[in-house]
Amino acid sequence: MPLLGRSSGGALAPLALPSFRRLFAARMLSWSGCAIAPIGLAFAVLRLPGGESVDGLGRVLACGVVPQILLFFVSGVWADRWPRHWLIVAANLISSTAQATAVALLWSGAARLWHLALLAAVCGAATALFLPACSAAVADSVPAELRGAANALLRLGRSTVRVGGPAAGASMVAAIGPAWALAWDAVSFAGSAALFARNGGPGGPGGPQTAFACQLREGWADFRSRRWLVVITSQSALVLSVWMVGYQMLGPVYGERFLGGAGPWGVVMSGFAAGVLGGSVLALWWRPRRTGLLCCASAFLMAMPLAAIAARVHTVGLVLAVGSAGMLASLSMTVWTGLLQEVIPRDRLSRAMSYSFFGETVTVPLGYLAAAPASRVLGLKGTLELGALLIALLGTLPLLLPEVRLLSRRVTTAG
């Protein structure tokens, strides 16, 4: 099977396009910073007055999420209204400036908890500006017949960084301090902005055509008119909130109580990252047509790790469970992104993406809020069993709709 060459449609064919090479390099650079920065931020907060408790870190992290929830709709319209590459450049520069400011405050000893919370909010707002525009940038940079391979390459790059990034960040924090992790994040955002600035040209919308409010209503009407899109987005939002509670919040508690501490649980997390990486590699060569069935199968399989934790399965079994779930989730997300780029017009794509991002983000804080009382009433095991049951139901119910069961992408070949 050919790997390179646009005419072949090989797995690496998009890299023959200069615009995609710059996009890929920019994303790899910024992902390297984003993989390291959370560890630096966490330890920076914990070492500040008032940040020693989990509550202090929670407030800072929440400040990074709330602006995304508030701004995704607006940023989706902007990305369909103005040239996307300049919005991407602006978002990267804003994030770089915010992180550089945090570094300066930490190095000077003047940093306070509210400083980092405010700067986290700035970065969250920049993320809301960035994601809808960047998600549609592949459609601007790559012809239709190569977008599947392009999405798979981006997913592979992100997964690779996620495997090694946290360990590199932890080593950096331990050796030279948390501020240096944030400093690299600032540098990576600046470098990404420089690469995206070179990707100007005719791609993306050229300017406003109708009033902002009209475009906002038009985007919502376009999103709502596709029932399969509403259903799968809602499914993803609910599954993600339950998964985050079970895996990221209650999973470490299980690791501490039953696996022997952070070490074995870290092995489990590495198993999930390895599964995601494997799914990204698989997506380079295999892109199933039946997207609806794949999305539902992926959602259903996310129940398996929570059920395994509830059953007190030991480390090896958990690694297999999370690895399998991560692999199918990665493949599903790659194929889903390609489908949206295929069926939604380019001048409306960012708005569709913004509704998807909003749905996936808004439910996560609600899940965290519900988890504590649920675990007090049901216990750890009961809460995880309930979570596994909910995810299994959410993975199955959309298949009752014919438009979800029959949802397929077209097969495109390079000409």
Total number of domains in the chain: 2
Greatest mean pLDDT among 40-44, 214-218, 298-302 lies in: 298-302
407 and 296 share one domain: yes
Question: Does the residue 66 lie in any domain?
Answer: yes
256 and 308 share one domain: yes
236 and 366 share one domain: yes
pLDDT at 397: 93
Whether 298 contacts 235, CB under 8 Å: no
Q: In sequence order, what are the residues at sequence separation of 6 or more whose Cβ sits closer than 8 angstroms to the Cβ of residue 10?
A: 1, 2, 3, 4, 149
55 and 95 share one domain: yes
223 and 306 share one domain: yes
201 and 214 share one domain: no
Question: Does the residue 8 lie in any domain?
Answer: no
188 and 241 share one domain: no
Read off φ and ψ for residue 205, nearest 5 degrees: -65, 150
Give the pLDDT confidence of 248-262 residue by residue, as tens digits. 777 767 776 787 765
Question: Does the residue 5 lie in any domain?
Answer: no
Residue with tokens 């791609």: 203
CATH number, domain with residue 321: 1.20.1250.20
188 and 275 share one domain: no
Whether 152 contacts 24, CB under 8 Å: no
For 96, the domain range is: 14-143+161-205
Whether 154 contacts 27, CB under 8 Å: yes
The pTM score is: 0.69
Confidence of residue 362 (pLDDT cuts 50, 70, 90): confident
Give the pLDDT confidence of 185-198 residue by residue, as tens digits. 999 999 999 998 88
What is the C-alpha to C-alpha distance for residues 10 and 152, in angstroms, rounded to an integer? 12
308 and 216 share one domain: yes
261 and 331 share one domain: yes
231 and 167 share one domain: no
* HSE-up (13 A, CA, CB side) for residue 155: 33
Question: Does the residue 148 lie in any domain?
Answer: no
Question: Does the residue 173 lie in any domain?
Answer: yes
Give the pLDDT confidence of 284-337 residue by residue, as tens digits. 788 788 899 999 999 999 999 999 988 888 888 888 999 999 999 989 988 888
pLDDT at 79: 77
Question: Does the residue 1 lie in any domain?
Answer: no
